[in-house]
Amino acid sequence: MLKTCRILLFASLCFALFATACNNAGETDSAILHIGRDRLININKYMVDKDFDVIRHFIKRKSWRMIFADKGYFYEIFDRGNNPEIKSGMSILYNYTVSLLDGTQCYTENNKTFTVDAGEEISGLHDAVKLLGKGGKARFIFLPHLAYGLQGDFNKIPSRAILVYNVHITAINKEK
């Protein structure tokens, strides 16, 4: 909690300083902001490229046969399960484990429920489960921006963590 407060205080101070500086700078503001934005975009691209390299080496070392999805995650399906496939608005019951690339297990839970595309889970999982049906089993690797991002979950998942999810869909309820 203290760490969270410090982070929020630091972010607030940075924002206040940035806003004050921008209000006093005049016409050069847009040029400076543009350079700053471009630099942040380049830094972000660099970080994502590094994450991809780490994941590719990890997959190769483990001899996993994973596919890269257009949405930005890696997956390996062990069993697609039965139709119907999962769609937006459906409620699913599933078992899962979440771990870091170093093997540290963060969470494991059985019989958890969430509604697809309703915001109850990390964004990557909402899309990934749509590849499965009832009984489906798969492994997913999510980059930080599809998981808990820069902040982690303030519990077991650290900042900028790449996550490995092992998922088993046990039931699907119809759309709400």
Looking at the domain assignment, is residue 33 inside a domain?
no
Lowest mean pLDDT among 6-20, 54-68, 72-86: 6-20
**Domain range for 129:** 67-173
Phi, psi of 17 (to 5 degrees): -65, -45
Looking at the domain assignment, is residue 7 inside a domain?
no
Q: Is the pLDDT of residue 11 over 90?
A: no
CATH number at residue 159: 3.10.50.40
Looking at the domain assignment, is residue 47 inside a domain?
no
pLDDT (tens digit per residue) in 121-143:
999 999 999 999 999 999 999 99
**Which of 115, 122, 119, 163 lies closest to 139, judged by CA?**
163
Share of the chain above pLDDT 70, in %: 78
Looking at the domain assignment, is residue 104 inside a domain?
yes
Q: Give the pLDDT band of residue 30 (cuts 50, 70, 90).
A: low
Looking at the domain assignment, is residue 162 inside a domain?
yes
Looking at the domain assignment, is residue 27 inside a domain?
no
Report how many domains make up the chain. 1
DSSP annotation of 175 reads: P
Pairing of strands 105-115, 137-142: unpaired
In angstroms, the CA 98 to CA 103 distance is 9
